[in-house]
């Protein structure tokens, strides 16, 4: 990889991420959800119930107060349930309701074909290589973040 390629990488990744998100958002809008509201549902389904609000906020890149407003909406729609943590009563753990799980299934029924369409020009081996590269970048970013915190 040349210096020019390294400098272009982040710019291209951010642009691609935005366009990818736009296409996914269009698919999800058909079930009445915005990017802000489908993302917490997707993460709870993927990672599993019982995440704390703080853990979910970190995973989706939101500050706590923004997430609380989103969770109020999702809870009002009967898609998410907050439960007081057994180990610390100040902690709220998050759970998908059966309606929330059903909504995630509706979302995925729309997102998977859209993603397949966007990945059509890549074979499985290329996707595997890209995912491996993403994991390395994510690990490096986590390490840098931990260094900055100390």
Over the stretch 125-139, which tens digit does the pLDDT of each residue have?
999 999 999 999 999
Q: How far is CA 89 from the centre of its chain?
A: 27
pLDDT bracket for residue 95 (50, 70, 90):
very high
* pLDDT for residue 150: 63
Give the residue among 24, 18, 14 at the shortest CA–CA distance from 115: 24
Residues 94 and 146 in one domain: no
Number of domains in the chain: 2
Two tokens at 140? 């490096």
Q: Record the pTM.
A: 0.77
pLDDT (mean) for 11-29: 92
The rounded distance, in Å, linking the Cα atoms of 128 and 110 is 23
Distance in angstroms between the alpha carbons of the first and the last residue of the chain: 32
pLDDT bracket for residue 1 (50, 70, 90):
low
Residues 23 and 34 in one domain: yes
Give the residue among 82, 71, 75 at the shortest CA–CA distance from 39: 71
More confident residue, 66 or 20: 20
Residues 109 and 39 in one domain: yes
Give domain status of residue 45, yes or no.
Answer: yes
* pLDDT for residue 63: 83
* pLDDT for residue 34: 79
Q: How many CB atoms lie within 10 A of CB 28?
A: 23
Residue 130 lies in domain: 121-150
Residues 113 and 128 in one domain: no
- Alpha-carbon radius of gyration of the chain: 18
Which is it for strands 80-84 and 51-52: parallel, antiparallel or unpaired?
unpaired
Residues 102 and 142 in one domain: no
Give the residue among 109, 127, 107 at the shortest CA–CA distance from 33: 107
Give the model confidence (pLDDT) of 44-80 as tens digits. 999 888 888 888 988 888 888 888 899 999 999 999 9
Give domain status of residue 6, yes or no.
Answer: no
DSSP 8-state code for residue 30:
T
Give the model confidence (pLDDT) of 96-131 as tens digits. 999 999 999 999 999 999 999 999 999 999 999 999
* pLDDT for residue 99: 96
Residues 84 and 130 in one domain: no
In sequence order, the 6+-apart residues with CB closer than 8 A to the CB of 39 are 60
């Amino acid at each position: 990889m040349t210096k020019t390629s390294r400098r272009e990488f982040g710019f291209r990744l951010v642009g691609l991420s935005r366009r990818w998100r736009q296409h996914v958002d269009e698919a999800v809008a058909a079930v009445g959800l915005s990017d802000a509201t489908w993302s917490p549902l997707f993460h709870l389904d993927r990672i599993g119930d019982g995440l704390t609000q703080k853990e979910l906020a970190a995973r989706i890149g939101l500050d706590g107060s923004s997430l609380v407003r989103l969770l109020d909406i999702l809870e009002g729609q009967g898609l998410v349930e907050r439960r007081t943590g057994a180990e610390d009563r100040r902690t709220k753990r998050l759970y998908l309701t059966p309606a929330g799980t059903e909504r995630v299934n509706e979302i995925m029924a729309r997102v998977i074909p859209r993603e397949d369409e966007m990945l059509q020009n890549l074979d499985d081996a290329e996707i595997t290589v890209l995912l491996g590269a993403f994991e390395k970048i994510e690990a490096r970013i986590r390490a840098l973040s931990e260094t900055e915190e100390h």
